[in-house]
Amino acid sequence: METIGIWIAALLTLGIFSFLYKDNPFYKFCESLFVGVSAGYWFVTTFWQVFMPKLADNLVAGRFYYIIGAIFGVMMLLRLIPKIGWISRWSLALVVGTTAGLYFTRYLVSNGMVQVQYTIISLYVKGNLSQTIGNLVIVIGTFSGLIYFFFSKEHKGAFGGLAKLGIWFLMLSFGASFGYTVMSRMSLLIGRMDFLLGTWLGLIR
Amino acid sequence: MVRFSFIFLFILLLFSSAIGQEATLPPAPSTDVMAKDTPNDAGGSITISWKKSPDDIGTVREENKVKGYEILRSTEGKGEYEVLGKTTAGSEIYFDTHAHNGVPYYYKVRALGIQSFSESLPSAPAKAKAQWIDWRRKYTFLLALIVALSIVYFINQAKSGKQLFIRKIAGLEAVEDAVGRATEMGRKIFYIPGISDMDSMQTIAGVTILGQVAKKTAEYEAKLEVPTSRSLVMVSCRETIKEAYSNAGRPDLYNEDMVYYLTDDQFGYTAAVDGLFVREKPAAVFLQGQFYAESLILAETGNYVGAIQIAGTAQPAQLPFFVAACDYTLIGEELFAASAYLSRDPKLLGSLKGQDVGKFIFLFFIIVGSLFLTFGIYDLSFLFR
Amino acid sequence: MRREIPLAITAIVGFALIIVYFIPHPPFNASKDFFEDLFFIIAAFAIWLGCLNLLKVNADKVYLKKKGWPFSIVVWFGFFLMVIVGFWEGRGFMNPGTTFYYLYDKLYYPLNATMFSILAFFVASASYRAFRARNKEATILLIAALFVMLGRVPFGYYLSSWLPEGWRLGNITDWIMDFPQTAAQRAIMIGIALGIVSSSLRVLLGLERTFASGE
Amino acid sequence: MKFLEKLLAVDRRIIFLFIAIAVALPLFFVVKLHIEVTPVVRNLHNALEALPPGSKVLVSLDYDPGSMPELQPMAESFFRYCFNRDLKVIIMGLWPNGPIQANVALEVVLKEPEIMKKNLKYGIDYVNLGYTAGNEVVIERMGSDIPVTFPKDYSGNKTEDLPLMKGVMNFNNIDFVYNLSAGYPGTVEWVLFAVDPYKVKLGAGNTAVQAPQIYPYLNSGQLVGLLGGMKGGAEFEIATGYPAKAVRYMFSQSVAHAVICLFILLGNFAYFATRKKKGS
């Protein structure tokens, strides 16, 4: 059973890779299978790990107000019927409202205020040159980067110079992201190669 | 009498030697156990604090060291105590999260040794209660209020027809060149609004920018094509282009087939667009909206066929690939600013201005706060805690 | 009505959650827990909606004999294979050793992982054919990228081990990541935070209503 | 310069072939490489070392098989470390696949002879609470009540009946949170919804794509340490003294990076050389 499974997995892997040569029916087959299998997987997982414990168990335990959740949920599904699909917007509204309400304060605090709090730092650290330079870079980088995203003033003169500095900082960070993304993609490929050459063909230990 | 004192001494000696060899003496108890309502919460919680056992401070012999603390609770000062929970050595605080509001509770802290333990004196009683205002968050409230009010204020200003200034955005200047070049070469222009649906702010911004690009293609009589990966995006793009063409006085040039739906699937869509690029060799490619991993594949192919590429997204992870492979890139918020700049939509303009107020506050405190701290004047960072 | 009720729901839920952040007292804190529970359940239904929609689209394809319709049958097959086995297995459906786990390990995992690993190939071809130091900005980007790519692997250590400790590729990469990179990311984060604050506000005030209209 | 122009126009499938070889070939060799532990990984390791045995560690696995090569070695090395140090492990996932990935990792780690000796028991030494839909709202909810957020564990046992979960009400009863993340929801959400409001101690392992965006949280101290990508995983394996999968893959990773760098340099050289010629 295990051997058959490994062969299936290997063939599917090669099927996806075949796209690199050319789009072909074998790839299309693997892709469609992927779409179906992952949808099925999500369907089953949400059933056993959300519906049963969160909805069914609560109703069985006599907390009947949870029926409201079911009602809103079913309203969501009504989108499939075009005529009364509009009613799904009620449940969508609840989802949108929850995220908007939570995001409003959380992003302001964690991505805004807390980051500013830690950017208010001393520009001179006694006896520690590298930390001094580091702190200076942090403050100037954050400041000039924000200047670049300030839209109420034309980028001219000293302000324009700061914005220019800001864009250089941004580019440096994009370069870093670039390097890290390459790293990620290569790791994934290593994983697949290890499977094909090791687990499947047994060429490497 | 003398004999008795000898026996007494003997017993004492026995004891002390036992202590020296076995070290089973319990650790010294912790002191000053205090309990009070946990502030700024919805009730149901009491904060218990204490001073560490002397055997939990500094270098104590491993055998005598405190291994942790157990917190005990009772509803009567002298009654039965139940164990609430355990915390690690070195801690001086514990939150009882199982308290009922309004019930007085007494607490004891038990310092745990290897085999034995010692208990502190009970605390004074404390009751949990709910507070109306979380005072720790007063500055957050203030800032949220300022930003929110300025957004609302500027939206109203824009609505009442006041001209709000927005700086020039570099990539947008290139739109005209790109469209002109496409007309000269007689090749197509492809506009890709990303793979997300209309619920994404980035897609909406992308579609807004499409309206302006379409105005230019109408003026120059260039050929525009928009493959989409969502049916809803297709509908919106059609409406946007139709409107742009009739505004430019060329409704005759508009044709529904300029916008078409390919597939919802990420890589399926990418493969299809890839094929279009290679076959049609467009003169210009616009990539504006929310992009994921496909950004790289699209930008690479567009570059390979020699198109001028103008990209824009607020996905930080995809920006590097756009910057490296495209001629112009709208970075992050520039995408939203561009759509506000082009559409002059009051709610977009107003929000952008309101956000600038927030940015101004942050910029001000970063510089002033850091300078104050450098010269040892005052630490302003508490304002953002 | 069709428009007002959803907008009202959004506003009530959203503002309640903002208020409870500042006012922890009942009844606000209870409203938070309740809305969050509702959110879980609706979120699960939303996932089901996506699945059912997928089935519908593919059924249409088969029914209308659209181009590539046999592949839609494959989608259906994959879906029901997982669903039938998953329901059959019961609550412990994902424990190692079950049939569902076998399908996960032999179908879902290789497909998913390979799908993303093909990007490695495209990174390679893009780095050769598309990533150009066409201007100052792109040049800075590419130089930083080269440093990080080499500095983050042991290879960078061997390339620069002749340099004094603290000035090697790895150290330079650490410095780039810790300071200029962090500073720029912070600027981006603060910008995004304000963007989210303003779009949330627009949604709650009913100014942004794309979600409540259309279709 | 004709040659360079031709070189630039090479079919991309040839480049594909190059990268396949660059990744595959090094896998055949076992090379002992020098792997330096960077400060961000060292910090995470130190924070974990400071936890006394018996501490409760919450591990949230927020990824799916797509990121397995990067994050799975991190999951394995983390579990191995916790069990060796007698830390109690509570597993959960914000992604439906997370808890399964945990089981996959546990299957590997629990079979190792040193761990076998400890005779670990489910429910006492580790639990798997499974997945709950709701993304960051799940974290938010855990701040007030973990048993309500996860009423049943992965196999359907009541959470409250598990000995390890006795007295675990919310984040106050958790000593450390470790998050393995491949995107949304993930480390950013843990910082926003657990660290800031509930002062949780958080360490994370991320895919390399994510890592740069996480650095500001390190500098601000919202995050104690970070493993970035497979290299971060390898460093953690070195730091804990158990070199495993990630270390083994490092040679391949090195060669792949070198090839990409060469491609960028070569591509730019050819591009500018041909352009200069056209210009003159």
Mutation for D interface: B48, B84, B97, B277, most D CBs within 10 A = B97
Q: Name the pLDDT band for C76 (thresholds 50, 70, 90).
A: very high
CA dist., res. B10 & res. B22, Å (int): 18
Distance of residue D121 Cα from the nearest chain C Cα, in angstroms:
16
Residues C99 and C132 in one domain: no
Residue C127 belongs to a domain? yes
- Judging contacts by C-beta atoms under 8 Å, the chain D residues touching residue C36 are 134, 137, 140-141
Residue C191 belongs to a domain? no
pLDDT over 90, % of chain C: 40
* Average pLDDT in chain D: 90
Edge-to-edge, what's the strand order for the sheet holding B223-228? B259-261, B223-228, B188-194, B284-290, B308-313, B328-331
What values do phi and psi take at B189, rounded to 5? -115, 130
| Residue C141 near residue A180, CB atoms below 8 Å | no
Instruction: Identify the three-state secondary structure at position B198.
Output: coil
Tell if the CB–CB gap between C207 and B155 is shorter than 8 Å: yes
pLDDT confidence of residue C212: 64
B366 pLDDT more than 90: yes
pLDDT confidence of residue D250: 93
Q: Name the pLDDT band for D279 (thresholds 50, 70, 90).
A: low
Touching subunits for chain B (3+ Cβ pairs under 8 A): A, C, D
What is the pTM assigned to this prediction?
A: 0.86
Residue C104 belongs to a domain? yes
pLDDT confidence of residue D75: 96
pLDDT confidence of residue B6: 55
Residues C95 and C143 in one domain: no
Distance of residue A103 Cα from the nearest chain D Cα, in angstroms:
9
What is each CA distance from C104 to A48, B67, C95, D26, in whole angstroms? Answer: 16, 44, 11, 29
CA dist., res. A177 & res. A167, Å (int): 15
Give the count of Cβ contacts less than 8 A between chain A and D.
126
Continuous segment of H or E residues that includes residue D244: none
CA dist., res. A67 & res. A59, Å (int): 7
pLDDT confidence of residue D143: 84
Distance of residue B155 Cα from the nearest chain A Cα, in angstroms:
15
- Judging contacts by C-beta atoms under 8 Å, the chain C residues touching residue B155 are 207
Please indicate whether residue D140 or residue C73 has the higher confidence score (pLDDT): C73
For chain A, list residues whose CB is within 8 angstroms of any CB belonging to chain D.
20-21, 41-42, 45-46, 49-50, 52-54, 57, 98, 102, 106-107, 109-111, 114-115, 117-118, 138, 173, 176-177, 180-184, 186-194, 197-198, 203-204
- Judging contacts by C-beta atoms under 8 Å, the chain B residues touching residue C17 are none
b/e D175-192 (16+ beta carbons within 10 angstroms → b): bbbbbbbbbebbbbbbbb
Residue C41 belongs to a domain? no
Q: Give the number of C-alpha atoms closer than 13 A to the C-alpha of residue B4, restricted to the C-beta side.
A: 1
Residue C194 belongs to a domain? no
pLDDT digits 0-9 by tens, D141-194? 898 789 888 988 888 889 989 999 987 888 888 999 999 999 888 998 999 889
Mutation for C interface: D33, D97, D159, D254, most C CBs within 10 A = D254
Signed CA dihedral, C145, C148, C149, C155: sign only: positive
Residue C77 belongs to a domain? yes
pLDDT confidence of residue C194: 92
Q: Under 8 Å CB-to-CB from A106, ≥6 apart: which residues?
A: D136, D192, D193, D196
Q: How is chain A split into domains, by residue range?
A: 119-205
DSSP state, residue D30: -
Q: Name the pLDDT band for B19 (thresholds 50, 70, 90).
A: very low
Which tokens hold the place of D175?
Answer: 């000593």
| Residue A114 near residue B323, CB atoms below 8 Å | no
CA dist., res. C78 & res. A39, Å (int): 8
Mutation for A interface: D16, D40, D70, D136, most A CBs within 10 A = D70
pLDDT confidence of residue C181: 94
Nearest-Cα residue of chain B relative to residue C30: B42
Q: Name the pLDDT band for C211 (thresholds 50, 70, 90).
A: low
Is B101 an interface residue toward C (CB < 8 Å)? no
A198 pLDDT more than 70: yes
Q: Under 8 Å CB-to-CB from B235, ≥6 apart: which residues?
A: none
> Which chain A residues in 121-150 lie under 8 Å from chain B, judged by CB atoms?
121-124, 139, 142-143, 146-150
Distance of residue D50 Cα from the nearest chain B Cα, in angstroms:
11
CA dist., res. B110 & res. B103, Å (int): 22
**Type of residue at C211:** F
Tell if the CB–CB gap between B97 and D172 is shorter than 8 Å: yes
Nearest of B90, B42, B48, B91 to residue B73 by alpha carbon? B48
B62 pLDDT more than 50: yes
Signed CA dihedral, D148, D149, D154, D160: sign only: negative
**Type of residue at A179:** G
DSSP state, residue D32: -
Strands B117-119 and B259-261, by their bridges, are: unpaired
Is B267 an interface residue toward A (CB < 8 Å)? yes
Supply the range of the domain harboring residue C107.
Answer: 67-117
Mutation for C interface: D7, D18, D19, most C CBs within 10 A = D19
Distance of residue B136 Cα from the nearest chain A Cα, in angstroms:
12
Distance of residue D29 Cα from the nearest chain B Cα, in angstroms:
31
DSSP state, residue A83: G
Q: Which of B130, B347, B362 sits opposite C202 (nearest CB)?
A: B347
pLDDT confidence of residue B18: 45
Instruction: Identify the three-state secondary structure at position A23.
Output: coil
| Residue D71 near residue D231, CB atoms below 8 Å | no
D203 pLDDT more than 50: yes
| Residue D209 near residue A176, CB atoms below 8 Å | no
Residue B335 CA, chain-centre distance (Å), reads: 20
B312 pLDDT more than 80: yes
CA dist., res. B336 & res. B346, Å (int): 13
Residue C85 belongs to a domain? yes
pLDDT digits 0-9 by tens, B147-200? 999 999 999 999 998 888 989 888 888 899 999 999 999 999 999 999 888 777
Is B358 an interface residue toward C (CB < 8 Å)? yes
B17 pLDDT more than 60: no
D280 pLDDT more than 70: no
Mutation for D interface: B46, B73, B95, most D CBs within 10 A = B95
Nearest-Cα residue of chain B relative to residue A106: B140
Strands B46-51 and B31-37, by their bridges, are: antiparallel
Nearest-Cα residue of chain C relative to residue B294: C119
| Residue A127 near residue A149, CB atoms below 8 Å | no
Average pLDDT over every residue of A95-117: 89
Nearest of C38, A62, C139, D165 to residue C46 by alpha carbon? C38
CA dist., res. C108 & res. B98, Å (int): 43
Continuous segment of H or E residues that includes residue B286: strand B284-290
Average pLDDT over every residue of D233-262: 93
Cα radius of gyration (chain D): 22
Continuous segment of H or E residues that includes residue B223: strand B223-228
Average pLDDT over every residue of C37-65: 88
What values do phi and psi take at B126, rounded to 5? -140, 150
Beta strands in D117-167 (DSSP E): 126-131
pLDDT confidence of residue D278: 59
Tell if the CB–CB gap between A122 and B167 is shorter than 8 Å: no
Structurally, chain C folds into a number of domains equal to 2
State the virtual CA torsion across B287, B293, B296, B299 in degrees, nearest 10. Answer: -20
Is C189 an interface residue toward A (CB < 8 Å)? yes
pLDDT digits 0-9 by tens, D36-93? 899 999 999 999 999 988 899 999 999 988 788 999 999 999 999 999 999 999 999 9
Residues C126 and C169 in one domain: yes
pLDDT confidence of residue B56: 82
DSSP state, residue D37: P
User: How many degrees, rounded to 5, is the angle at CA A145 between CA A144 and CA A148?
Assistant: 90
